[in-house]
Amino acid sequence: MEQTLTISIQDYLKNIYELTENGESASTNALASKLNVKPASVTGMVQKLASAKPALVEYQKHQGVTLTDDGKKAALEVIRHHRLLEAWLVQTLGYSWDEVHAEAEKLEHVISEDFERRIAAAMGHPLRDPHGELIPTADLQMPLDDSTPLSSLRANQSGTVQYVKAADAELLKHFETLGLIPEAELEVTGYSPFDHNLTIKIGRKSIVLGLNITSKIYVKES
């Protein structure tokens, strides 16, 4: 039942999961650019995943893909590996949060379930990875996310950073120098409707952030 999926398939499923978290289906083009692969290749793979038994995705020509329950399970397994590994690399080998992603990206596909259990136990079953992202549980449920993008807050609203959604090392370093890390408290003091810039107060500083940033910072309003 749990035959081992190829690394490519694992990556497709993980990326489909991420693109469909919002409820929409994942388009061929979006998947292609996320996977660094040509759209034609995506069509081919997606057709295969749809006709696999059991099917891993739901697919209608020109309508994009979504995950079946089996596909979602497989995706969450990879995501759990990835996030546990990130946490573990930071906690035991002193990686910084901008260095872990690439390493976890490769390890996620080859560790055993035993390895997964051991690092989870060694860290006391952490709930979040170094970026604050929720780690799927051992029985492959994604915990409820009670945060919203910072970009959805307006003047006088304040909150606590829950997680940052970014893999790029440079961007993560930038977030860090701004103090935009999990647990950070911030308050929105201004909003510019034309460019969607937000002015926020964080620590003793006041900074202006564009949508490119605010859409990647997830906060819990307080």
Closest CB 110 distance from its own copies, rounded Å: 4
Closer Cβ to DNA, 26 or 164, answer by number: 26
Closest CB 19 distance from DNA, rounded Å: 11
**Where do the H-state alpha helices sit in the chain?**
7-20, 28-35, 39-51, 69-93, 100-107, 113-122, 169-178, 211-214
Closer Cβ to DNA, 28 or 214, answer by number: 28
Measured between alpha carbons, how far is 222 from 203 in angstroms, rounded to an integer?
16
Closer Cβ to DNA, 64 or 136, answer by number: 64
Q: Measured over all CA atoms, what is the biggest interatomic distance in the chain, rounded to whole angstroms? A: 57
Give one DSSP letter per residue of 104-147, joined into a string.
Answer: HHHHTTT--HHHHHHHHHHTT--SB-TT-PBPPPTTS-PPP---
Measured between alpha carbons, how far is 105 from 142 in angstroms, rounded to an integer?
19
CA 48, 53, 58, 60 torsion-angle sign: positive
Pick what 43 binds: its own copies, DNA, Mn ion, none; C-beta below 5 to 8 Å, kind-dependent.
DNA
Applying CB under 8 A, which residues contact its own copies?
A: 92-95, 99, 102-103, 106-107, 109-112, 114-115, 118-119, 122
Closest CB 54 distance from its own copies, rounded Å: 25
Q: Site for DNA (CB under 7 A): which residue of 34, 48, 196, 201?
A: 48
Closer Cβ to DNA, 39 or 179, answer by number: 39
In terms of Cβ atoms closer than 10 Å to its own Cβ (0-12, 13-18, 19+), residue 190 is middle
Closest CB 121 distance from its own copies, rounded Å: 9
Asked if residue 42 binds DNA (CB under 7 A), the reply is yes
Pick what 64 binds: DNA, its own copies, Mn ion, none; C-beta below 5 to 8 Å, kind-dependent.
DNA
Measured between alpha carbons, how far is 69 from 170 in angstroms, rounded to an integer?
35
Asked if residue 6 binds DNA (CB under 7 A), the reply is yes
Pick what 131 binds: Mn ion, its own copies, DNA, none; C-beta below 5 to 8 Å, kind-dependent.
Mn ion
Measured between alpha carbons, how far is 101 from 48 in angstroms, rounded to an integer?
28
- The alpha carbon of 35 is separated from its chain's Cα centroid by a whole number of angstroms, namely 14
In degrees and rounded to multiples of 5, residue 21 shows phi and psi of -60, -30
Closer Cβ to DNA, 39 or 126, answer by number: 39
Closest CB 96 distance from DNA, rounded Å: 29
Contacts with DNA, residue ranges (CB under 7 A): 6-9, 11, 27-30, 36-48, 59, 61-64
